[in-house]
Amino acid sequence: MNKELIINAAPQGVEIALLEDKKLVELHHEKADASFAVGDLYLGKVKKLIPGLNAAFVDVGFEKDAFLHYTDLSPYARSLLKFTQQAINDHSEKDFDFGTFQVEPEIIKTGKINEVLSGKPNILVQILKEPIAAKGPRLSCEISLPGRFVVITPFNDIVAVSRKIHSADERKRLQKIVEAIKPKNFGVIVRTAAEGKNTAELHEDLSMLVETWKAIQHNLKGSVAPAKILSEQTKTTSILRDLLNEDFNKIVINDRNIYNDTRSYIQRIAPEKADIVAFYHNGLPIFDQFGITKQVKAAFGKTVNLPSGAYLIIEHTEALHVIDVNSGYKSVGNNQELNALETNLEAAAEISRQLRLRDLGGIIVVDFIDMKLPDNKRKLLEAMEEFMKPDRAKHAVLPISKFGIMQITRQRMKPEMNINTQEVCPTCAGTGKISSTLLLEDEIEKNMSYLITHQHKDLTLVVHPIMYAYLTKGGWLFRSQQWKWRMKYGQKIKISENTNYHLTEFHFFDKHEEEIKL
């Protein structure tokens, strides 16, 4: 599979498109004034404790207080509170050594929020979910800093290896290496990308993350809540960090600064891949050049057409997303069950892409075309699970119910991507109604009278072909409107047609074929 990252920088922000075999599968938009993104760290002030919900509302500077549930507090919440206060009040020139920090006992899983956050203290929090609709951000106190090969989690002092690394020997090797190089008071999770990496590569990644934690500690010094302490990396580098592998063969960027940053970042994390970064400076917009604009227009909207003639209807409600699969004019043969299976498999591939592309989260209900054979239902479930594998968001797919419905849950981290693919009709301005031809005729005549009164001669009126036919129709007995105007104003009025005009559009031109502005 060929992966390409196309990055379009504009004044309002940066758009990032991920293509897999030339097909658009992810679209990210990073606003120029982006804040409260997943992974950002803030110093927050606890404003209100809600014992009934076992949660707290925390002021992090957003217009609505952020939500922090007890289950997101982290077992090391007391250590985090102690560290936050110690870092804020640290007035020494050199920051205190985190390796000597005394970790507090863990909190119990079934505890109460007011036992841990009594006194409404300041606390270091990480954005778990971006603000969505009327809700403020969702917070976590389980601070984690992701790198290319490892993730560090302060205070817990354990080493865990990704379960996606299947070789027991490789898991033991990585465990031993990390235990040997891990600083005190840090837990380390070894990512799947670490498979086969040597000690030097893992140590460099770990050291970089430890330096980031030191920067957080330094930024807390003297801070007053609410305050941003550290931003997650830009979307470009975070996508590269999580996705960059041997399948990537092109990264194209139209901004010199982002190009330089991206190239130096790749030079650092994967030097052998540095040559895949290219700077784009042709005249055509970068998204047009790579066919992304057209794919965006085709993929977003209520109806999504599939190559075979089948189509999807995607509806959004407050509680869930509903996707309906329709066969359209698709016909594979006389076997109805085979038709249904083939259409459903094609739809499943597109649905998995749509979930990533639009970043749909929560509950997704899919109404597939009914199939009778249990074997076919199982094939569809297995295919959907396979199509969903590249999706980085946590998800679960349930078997098809007896009503032919498949339920999918997908992690919601940020607001869904919603792009309007329709344009307002220039003729009716979106109302669905246009002026009567008779009224349009009166408007044309009013403007014509004004121009003739102001000594304009040899006028040419250009209109839409349908209007042209209406104004010039008529024979000897039934005079055309053009003839009537000639008799009324005592001069010849030339009328011509232009297929590019919309139905009610008209313009006047002088004898030099220059438009007369009214």
Q: Could you tell me the two tokens for 386?
A: 């396979």
Kindly tell me the sign of the dihedral angle through the C-alpha atoms of 321, 55, 80, 220.
Answer: positive
Question: Which residues lie across from 278 on neighbouring strands?
Answer: 252
C-alpha distances in angstroms, 449 versus 389, 490, 508? 69, 12, 12
The C-alpha atoms of residue 159 and residue 177 are separated, in whole angstroms, by: 10
C-alpha distances in angstroms, 216 versus 60, 86, 121, 125? 16, 13, 18, 11
Q: Could you tell me the two tokens for 323?
A: 């996707």
The pLDDT tens digits for 120-154 are 889 999 998 888 767 888 999 999 998 888 999 99
Question: Which residues lie across from 127 on neighbouring strands?
Answer: 139
Q: Could you tell me the two tokens for 7?
A: 């990055």
Please check whether residue 357 is in contact with residue 27, taking contact to mean a CB–CB distance below 8 angstroms. yes
The C-alpha atoms of residue 246 and residue 252 are separated, in whole angstroms, by: 17
Q: Where are the alpha helices (DSSP H) in 290-436?
A: 292-299, 336-358, 374-388
The pLDDT tens digits for 202-250 are 998 899 899 999 999 989 988 888 888 887 666 667 777 766 766 778 8
480 CB-side CA count, 13 A: 15
Judge if pTM exceeds 0.85: no
The C-alpha atoms of residue 139 and residue 141 are separated, in whole angstroms, by: 7
Can you give the pLDDT of all 518 residues of the chain as single tens digits?
788 889 888 777 788 888 988 889 888 877 766 677 788 899 999 999 999 999 999 999 888 899 999 999 989 999 999 999 999 988 887 888 888 889 899 999 888 998 899 888 899 999 988 887 678 889 999 999 988 889 999 998 899 999 888 899 999 999 999 999 999 999 999 998 888 889 998 998 899 899 999 999 989 988 888 888 887 666 667 777 766 766 778 889 888 888 888 888 788 777 777 888 899 888 788 888 888 888 888 888 888 888 888 899 999 887 889 999 998 765 555 688 888 899 999 999 999 999 988 888 889 999 999 999 999 999 999 999 999 988 888 899 999 988 889 999 998 766 666 666 666 776 677 777 777 766 788 889 999 998 988 888 889 999 998 888 888 886 555 678 888 888 888 888 899 998 888 888 899 998 888 888 87
Please check whether residue 481 is in contact with residue 441, taking contact to mean a CB–CB distance below 8 angstroms. yes
Closest CA to 19 of 239, 204, 301, 292: 292
The C-alpha atoms of residue 159 and residue 314 are separated, in whole angstroms, by: 43
Q: Where are the alpha helices (DSSP H) in 89-128?
A: 113-116
Closest CA to 84 of 224, 212, 183: 224
Helices and strands, counts by H and E, the chain: 13, 24
